[in-house]
Amino acid sequence: MQVIVLGGGLMGTATAFFLARRGIRVRLIERGYIGAGATVASFGNIRRTGRALEQMALAHRSLALWTRAEDLLGRDVEFRATGHLRLIFDEEGRADMVRFAAAARPLGLTLEHLEAAEVHRRFPGLGPTAIGASFSPKDGSANPRLVGPAFAAAAARAGAEIVARAGDVRITRTEAGFEVDTAQGSFGADVLVNCTGSGGRAIARQFGEDVPLTPHGPQMGVTEPLPHRILPVVGMWARDGGAYLRQVERGNVVFGGGVTRVPVDGSGYAKYDPAGQVTQLQKVVRLCPALADVAVIRNWSGNEGYTADMLPVMGASGTTPGLFHAFGFCGHGFQLGPGVGDAMAELIATGTCETPIAAMAITRFAA
Ligand SMILES: Cc1cc2nc3c(=O)[nH]c(=O)nc-3n(C[C@H](O)[C@H](O)[C@H](O)COP(=O)(O)OP(=O)(O)OC[C@H]3O[C@@H](n4cnc5c(N)ncnc54)[C@H](O)[C@@H]3O)c2cc1C
């Protein structure tokens, strides 16, 4: 079997890596630079709290791989299981947390429910006005800049061929499978995996299956470096998702959320909108008041595909034998990435996947 994985973000590089480890011939084709799409823009949150329940089994599979990332990839991608603290500021947030915790428990995620006094004792300086929190001790974060290139390098060591800067590709259906013409040459394969992020809709459409997907970007920022005091990833139970933050080991506090996502313009990028900055920072400061007088040194956004039902597209094509999809991760794909790569490789190699992914099938949109 010869596989072409299209798209060199976290999903494509992880899929190529796990395919190559299974001894399958795989070529990864990226139109630009490896890991430079939504993946590099990510906040880096590796959280299961608040995740769609349909993804929970996949999220567990992925977390197990994140914990082995250094061994698997041969380098530290800064995965740290610091825990994920999600603060509660009102009764609506508490009710949402209790409901989610009850639904997630039978699916294997047990959240600690902390009362206000315990939050303040265990996490001094975080959410002083919070009335409680959930805590998920095994979740954490990793470095979004490192992970795509690390998976691609490990895939190459395992035998995959990496073709970057391939430009605009042209895909043709052939008798043997697929032909992909690129600026770096033409390549044939019997299996094609569409891991092109927000570009996934265009590829699927070419094969007669449309997906209601729009590209948007969450809005992010980072502060100057500060003494390293904030250990967990911190979020809030809020129906708009609320703001969230984490402190990297060299001291900068990365934050996001709290404002609407920005659309992607004709250049293919979503630009941070400063109009929302005051609102965003007010929410960030609610999480950690000590950040009130700190300088923000950079803001950014990224180009991510959001589907109409906020679940990704994952699995076999509904129209075309040999075609597989893994795209449209709706702002939640960083945590899932290693699990997606492993599950896609299993599906392609064996025809089945031990992790339930049927809820993410592209055929759900066919009607
Ligand atoms: C600002 C921001 C913050 C986020 N924060 C988090 C977070 O904290 N936690 C979390 O779990 N998730 C988060 N996400 C989501 C997560 O980053 C994405 O879901 C994930 O990185 C998607 O990976 P991907 O490989 O599908 O897409 P991408 O990383 O976008 O990769 C797709 C690649 O395909 C290439 N491509 C496109 N079309 C073609 C083509 N025709 N031919 C060849 N190549 C092509 C692109 O150039 C790109 O490199 C965030 C996303 C953004 C934008």
Of the candidates 348, 359, 346, the one whose C-alpha atom is nearest the C-alpha of residue 314 is 359
Taking residues 245-257, report their average pLDDT: 97
Give how many domains the chain has, as a whole number.
2
Task: Summarize pLDDT for 10-60 with one digit per residue, the tens.
Answer: 999 999 999 999 999 999 999 999 999 999 999 999 999 999 999 999 999
Is 10 near ligand 1, meaning CB less than 6 Å away? yes
Report which ligand 1 atom has the smallest distance to the Cα of 327: 26
pLDDT surpassing 80 at residue 241: no
Residue 23 inside a domain? The answer is yes
Is 327 near ligand 1, meaning CB less than 6 Å away? yes
Residue 20 inside a domain? The answer is yes
CB burial of residue 209 (10 Å; 0-12, 13-18, 19+): buried
Q: CA torsion sign, 78 to 82 to 84 to 85? A: negative
Instruction: Assess contact for 240 and 344: CB atoms under 8 A.
Output: no
Cα of 331 vs centre of ligand 1, distance in Å, is 8
Q: Is the domain of 130 the same as that of 152?
A: no
Range of the domain at 45: 2-63+144-213+308-365
How far apart CA 243 and CA 314 sit, in angstroms, is 28
Is 332 near ligand 1, meaning CB less than 6 Å away? yes
Residue 68 inside a domain? The answer is no
Is 196 near ligand 1, meaning CB less than 6 Å away? yes
Q: Is the domain of 227 the same as that of 285?
A: yes
Boundary residue ending a domain (250, 285, 301): 301
Boundary residue ending a domain (275, 301, 327): 301
Cα of 334 vs centre of ligand 1, distance in Å, is 8
Report which ligand 1 atom has the smallest distance to the Cα of 335: 11
pLDDT surpassing 80 at residue 6: yes
Instruction: Assign residue 14 the CATH number of its domain.
Output: 3.50.50.60
Give me the DSSP letters along 136-191. Answer: ETT-EE--HHHHHHHHHHHHHHTT-EEE----S-EEEE-SSSEEEEETTEEEEESE
Q: Is the domain of 19 the same as that of 132?
A: no
pLDDT surpassing 80 at residue 367: no
How far apart CA 83 and CA 339 sit, in angstroms, is 19
Boundary residue ending a domain (250, 279, 301): 301
Q: Is the domain of 291 the same as that of 259?
A: yes
Q: Is the domain of 148 the same as that of 297?
A: no
pLDDT surpassing 80 at residue 3: yes
Strand partners, 132: 88, 115
Instruction: Assign residue 249 the CATH number of its domain.
Output: 3.30.9.10
Task: Summarize pLDDT for 104-158 with one digit per residue, the tens.
Answer: 999 999 999 999 999 999 999 999 999 999 999 999 999 999 999 999 999 999 9
Residue 326, sorted as left (phi over 0), alpha (psi -120 to 50) or beta, turns out to be beta
Q: Is the domain of 165 the same as that of 254?
A: no
Residue 77 inside a domain? The answer is no
Residue 71 inside a domain? The answer is no
Is 43 near ligand 1, meaning CB less than 6 Å away? yes
Residue 73 inside a domain? The answer is no
pLDDT surpassing 90 at residue 269: no
Q: How confident is the model at residue 268 (pLDDT cuts 50, 70, 90)?
A: confident
Q: Is the domain of 318 the same as that of 348?
A: yes
Q: Is the domain of 240 the same as that of 290?
A: yes
Q: Is the domain of 152 the same as that of 199?
A: yes
Percent pLDDT > 70 in the chain is 100
Cα of 10 vs centre of ligand 1, distance in Å, is 7
Q: Is the domain of 113 the same as that of 175?
A: no
Residue 272 is which amino acid? Answer: Y
Q: Is the domain of 234 the same as that of 289?
A: yes
Residue 227 inside a domain? The answer is yes
Residue 74 inside a domain? The answer is no
Q: So what's the pLDDT on residue 309?
A: 97
Task: Summarize pLDDT for 68-107 with one digit per residue, the tens.
Answer: 999 999 999 999 999 999 999 999 999 999 999 999 999 9
Cα-based angle 273, 277, 281 (whole degrees, multiple of 5): 150
Give, to the nearest 10 degrees, the angle between helix 333-350 and helix 56-66. Answer: 100
Q: Is the domain of 267 the same as that of 118?
A: yes
- For residue 157, how many other CB atoms are within 10 A of its CB? 13
Is 301 near ligand 1, meaning CB less than 6 Å away? yes
Q: Whose CA is nearest to atom 53 of ligand 1?
A: 302
Is 193 near ligand 1, meaning CB less than 6 Å away? no
Cα of 303 vs centre of ligand 1, distance in Å, is 7
